Structure 1
């Protein structure tokens, strides 16, 4: 089985996508899978910056860390990754628009990360950035964790 290459994407690459990157790296280590994982944002707001401090706090509460530095998605990401996993419908639609180039074959499958949760009400991982509490970050963490575990289960032996 060839190692998968996965890119997580949200709007700013400061909360959800770096959280997903860290969670997935943890589970890949647990399952001894040599997959490549990264995250990016659709905007330049956080390029060169560490993830939001609340994201880092939730990761630490769960025994995880991150060394991610924010970056914006690039055209080459559509060729270099097997999966580009969006956090919500807006991210998904923007990624699908960016990927449309009739003259080129894209490698990446663009999907919602939350599609790997069986409960429709939990399939959108809402942006916790403007939340006044840690609750939004903790909720996103739980959704991301379940989605990553289910993604691994669905792809461990199939891709």
Structure 2
């Protein structure tokens, strides 16, 4: 069985998408799945930067360590990933345009992470960046965590094959997840 490749997207890759990456990597490890998980931005503002401090804090409060530096989405991501999931309608609209531009080389299914909850009111994952304090980040964490649980429930047994399967892709995530597991043992 091949490993599923999932990419989370938000506008700046500093709050929601890295939070989703950290949560799903944690759940993938916990569920012993062989998935590749990453996140990226639609804009270049935070390329090379760590996620927002409050994002890292809420993850750490839940025993999740995240090692990530912001990057932008690329054309190749549409060829490499099985799912590219945005956080809001603006993300989705841009992702759909980019998928159309990728044309026949686009293998990724584009959607919203929040749709896994089957609750129309929860489909949009709001950006907590401009909020004061931790409350909005905690709410965002809860919404993303619940969405990721449903995502695993839906795709746990998906059998995907990649013509370009590189053993290092799975190995890369495995190594990172094992390091994360060791870090979790210390928490």
TM-score (norm 2): 0.82
Distance 2:51 2:64 in 1: 13
The structure whose residues are more often helix, as a share, is: 2
Please, what is the CA RMSD of the aligned residues?
Answer: 1.1
- Measure how far apart 1:102 and its partner are: 7.3
Change (3 A) 1:122 1:73: same
Change (3 A) 1:60 1:82: same
1:49 aligns with 2:44: no
**CA distances 1:93-121 after superposition (whole Å, capped 9, x unpaired):** 01111111375331000010001112211
1:3 counterpart residue number? 3
Q: Is the partner of 1:26 in helix, strand or coil?
A: helix
Distance 2:21 2:83 in 1: 13
Judge which range, 79-88 or 127-136, deviates more.
127-136
Distance 2:102 2:80 in 1: 18
Structure whose alpha-carbon radius of gyration is higher: 2
Q: Is the partner of 2:39 in helix, strand or coil?
A: strand
Gaps of 5+ in 1: none
- Measure how far apart 1:158 and its partner are: 3.1
TM-score (norm 1): 0.96
Distance 1:23 1:82 in 2: 18
Gaps of 5+ in 2: 160-187
Aligned residues: 159
**CA distances 1:112-137 after superposition (whole Å, capped 9, x unpaired):** 00011122111110000011121111
Change (3 A) 1:105 1:132: same
Change (3 A) 1:103 1:141: closer
1:67 counterpart residue number? 67
1:82 counterpart residue number? 82
1:20 counterpart residue number? 20
1:30 counterpart residue number? 30
Judge which range, 117-126 or 71-80, deviates more.
117-126
1:101 aligns with 2:65: no
Judge which range, 71-80 or 96-105, deviates more.
96-105
Change (3 A) 1:124 1:102: closer
